[in-house]
Amino acid sequence: MVVIEPETEPCAAGILESEKAVASKNAEETTGGPGGEASGSSAGNEMISDEDVFEDALDEEQLEQRALAQANDMKEEGNVLYRAGNYEEALEKYRLALQFASEITSSLEVRSICHANRAVCYSKLGKYEDTTKECTKALDLNPSYLKALLRRGEAHEKLQHFDEAIADMKKIIELHPSDVQSRREAEKAIRRLEPLAAEKREKLKDEMIGKLKDLGNSVLGRFGMSVDNFKAVKDPNTGSYSVSFQR
């Protein structure tokens, strides 16, 4: 912008020359100089663009704050419904809270809490597979989330996923060594779960061997034989097996 200082006693010729100078100056600014490009216009556009970006950034921040506030409101409504025993309705409120909080960087905490709370609701409804899934989502956002580890471990035990439950208890001991009560509960759970896990592994092994025997008999039966015609003997020195045929 060109500022023209007012003259005290302008004469007609002086005014005319001044107007011509202003017009020439404006033309140069508009075209970027004689024969040049519209650099002045481009600079003006850049200034407007910068201001627009700044305003958009402010608007985005305000929108995120509003969404986070709505997420917290939905979470609190879910908590009220949970305490009243309305687990299905609480699940929906937590889902809405997650929807409001999605893609907001500052919402990691509220999102992990909502997933953990949904896990509790599913546990109350006896839906333990869903419980483990929600706990896993909470732990993806907050890997050291103690309550999520405990709840997932409990759900795994309900599903007889004993090895997975033991893994969660060991994770609690690893991540929260100074939490005496939680560590003791985890250690107690491990002592209870390890025999169950071993028993399940043996059962699965027997089932697998049984299926393999059935498969072997179906093949060997075509030749008038069965797996009972083969005997495996373990070498006590090497631990390896040798198979011998017997009629």
What average pLDDT does the structure give for the chain?
Answer: 78
User: Above 50 in pLDDT, residue 95?
Assistant: yes
- Quick one: what percent of the chain has pLDDT higher than 90? 51
Q: Helix/strand/coil (H, E, C) string of the chain?
A: CCCCCCCCCCCHHHHHHHHHHHHHHHHHHHHCCCCCCCHHHHHHHHHHHHHHHHHHHHHHHHHHHHHHHHHHHHHHHHHHHHHCCCHHHHHHHHHHHHHHHCCCHHHHHHHHHHHHHHHHHHHHCCCHHHHHHHHHHHHHHCCCCHHHHHHHHHHHHHCCCHHHHHHHHHHHHHHCCCCHHHHHHHHHHHHHHHHHHHHHHHHHHHHHHHHHHHHHHHHHHHHCCCHHHEEEEECCCCCCEEEEECC
User: Above 50 in pLDDT, residue 13?
Assistant: no
Work out the pLDDT band at 100, boundaries 50, 70, 90: very high
Class of domain 63-159: mainly alpha
Q: What is the pLDDT of residue 33?
A: 45
Convert the pLDDT of each residue in 30-43 to its tens digit: 444 444 444 444 44
| pTM exceeds 0.75 | no
Q: Which residue has the higher pLDDT, 174 or 235?
A: 174
Work out the pLDDT band at 15, boundaries 50, 70, 90: very low
Convert the pLDDT of each residue in 111-131 to its tens digit: 999 999 999 999 999 999 999
